[in-house]
Amino acid sequence: MIRCRDANTEQAERISESPNAPIKAGCSVLEQESLMDMFLVRTMKLLCGVTLIFTLALSYYIYLPLPAGVSEPWKLLLVGATFRTATHLLPDGPRCSFSYVVCQFLFIAVYKSKRVCKGGGGGGTARHFLQRDVLARYSVDPERVAVCGDSAGGNLAAAVAQQIGQDRRGDADGMDGSDDARESSGGDGVKFKLQVLIYPVLQPLDFNTASYQQSQGVPILYRDLMARYWLEYLGADASLLQTILLNNHTALDESHVNPHRSKVDWTSMTPKHMSKQYKAIFPQTGSPSVLRDVPSMLDPRAAPLLAEQEILKTVPRGLHYDMRA
């Protein structure tokens, strides 16, 4: 007897005999939906895992323990994380190239002014502005002129006040230490009434003051970052970073630092309830080559806190609270 089978029956038998063969028309709609559901579930689990790991890593990167009393801590943490990320992404290679390519020579005449300009870093601008005719032009009261700056600007403001004060130093010395002797003046005898220094940068000799020790991990200006900025500002070698962070450049055996030690002695300036448990940190022996290679660290024009008392008497009274300076 001859058995007859149709094509669909033969195809079903071949599929059952070879289950690993590619499924084409033999896969039902329900099976396709089941496979799609499994794929979506696995994808969602993977995305949830990646999101969780990324969130934890981001939180770990952003969060830092802050001292009590900080206003809007999460805003500070976000700004600090952004600033820290930008700092990490900045190039840290050499700032100049030592390869030269000479294409051609072109000789030109460069104008060189014969006028000698005094000042710099705001000193010339302050002298010009303190002239009575300039003040009158802008309707400024000559008795209410102040100089102000924050952070690095506080450094410049203090330096400008000292420069202007030195212009009138002879007159101030003749005032027998009166209150007027503490006000600096510029052209035409106009005096600064006030200097406002907001967390100013005033000295690079001690990177272990009470404020540095207390806030070394608080954004945005970390202790090592401040030391790095000082080295860049003074044009010093970046490899000196760890040396100055340990105060090895102002160790107790550095005799040429002795005239300035009392000027940066924060233990005698800070009340006991502010200095808390923090102690001054100065090693017995250090690295004498640092100040020899970077003498500008002792220059009052770069570090206004190191100015002598005769100069400080000619500047207006000022107040700053942050001892990080």
> In this structure, is residue 23 part of a structural domain?
no
Q: Supply the pLDDT for residue 13.
A: 54
- Report how many domains make up the chain: 2
> In this structure, is residue 33 part of a structural domain?
no
The number of CA neighbours under 13 Å toward the Cβ of 296 is 9
* Residue % of the chain over a pLDDT of 70: 76
Pairing of β 145-150 and β 318-319: unpaired
174 with 250, same domain: the answer is no
186 with 243, same domain: the answer is no
DSSP assignment of 46-94:
HHHHHHHHHHHHHHHHH-----TT-SSHHHHHHHHHHHHHHHHHS--S-
> In this structure, is residue 268 part of a structural domain?
yes
Average pLDDT over residues 145-150: 92
Between CA 218 and CA 71 the distance in angstroms is 13
Least confident of 1-10, 220-229, 302-311: 1-10
38, 99, 141, 149, 188 from 146: Cα distances, Å: 72, 48, 11, 10, 16
DSSP assignment of 305-316:
GG--HHHHTTSP
Among 171, 198, 225, the domain-final residue is: 198
Who wins on pLDDT, 2 or 107?
107
Alpha helix (H) ranges present in the chain?
7-17, 29-62, 73-89, 123-129, 132-137, 152-167, 169-173, 210-215, 223-233, 241-245, 258-261, 266-269, 272-275, 289-293, 309-312
Q: Supply the pLDDT for residue 53.
A: 92
Q: How confident is the model at residue 157 (pLDDT cuts 50, 70, 90)?
A: very high
167 with 127, same domain: the answer is yes
Q: How confident is the model at residue 183 (pLDDT cuts 50, 70, 90)?
A: very low
Q: How confident is the model at residue 10 (pLDDT cuts 50, 70, 90)?
A: low
234 with 280, same domain: the answer is yes
> In this structure, is residue 6 part of a structural domain?
no
Who wins on pLDDT, 44 or 69?
44
194 with 218, same domain: the answer is no
Between CA 240 and CA 207 the distance in angstroms is 13
**Tens digits of residue pLDDT in 254-287:** 888 999 999 999 988 888 777 788 889 999 988 8
What is the average pLDDT value for the chain, to the nearest integer?
A: 79
* Domain that residue 215 falls in: 210-298
Q: Supply the pLDDT for residue 227.
A: 94
217 with 280, same domain: the answer is yes
**Tens digits of residue pLDDT in 73-99:** 888 888 888 888 887 777 665 555 555
> In this structure, is residue 238 part of a structural domain?
yes
Q: Supply the pLDDT for residue 317.
A: 80
Least confident of 36-45, 51-60, 93-102, 231-240: 93-102
Q: What is the enclosing helix (H) or strand (E) of 197?
A: strand 192-198
Backbone angles phi, psi at 95, to 5 degrees: -90, 0
> In this structure, is residue 215 part of a structural domain?
yes
174 with 225, same domain: the answer is no
> In this structure, is residue 39 part of a structural domain?
no
Q: Does residue 194 sit in helix, strand or coil?
A: strand
Between CA 320 and CA 325 the distance in angstroms is 9
> In this structure, is residue 171 part of a structural domain?
yes
Tokens of 70: 């900080």
Least confident of 49-53, 144-148, 165-169: 165-169
**Tens digits of residue pLDDT in 187-244:** 567 879 999 998 899 999 999 998 898 888 888 888 998 999 999 999 999 999 999 9
What is the CB neighbour count within 10 angstroms for residue 149? 21
Among 198, 232, 255, the domain-final residue is: 198
Among 168, 198, 228, the domain-final residue is: 198
Tokens of 215: 């806030």
226 with 293, same domain: the answer is yes
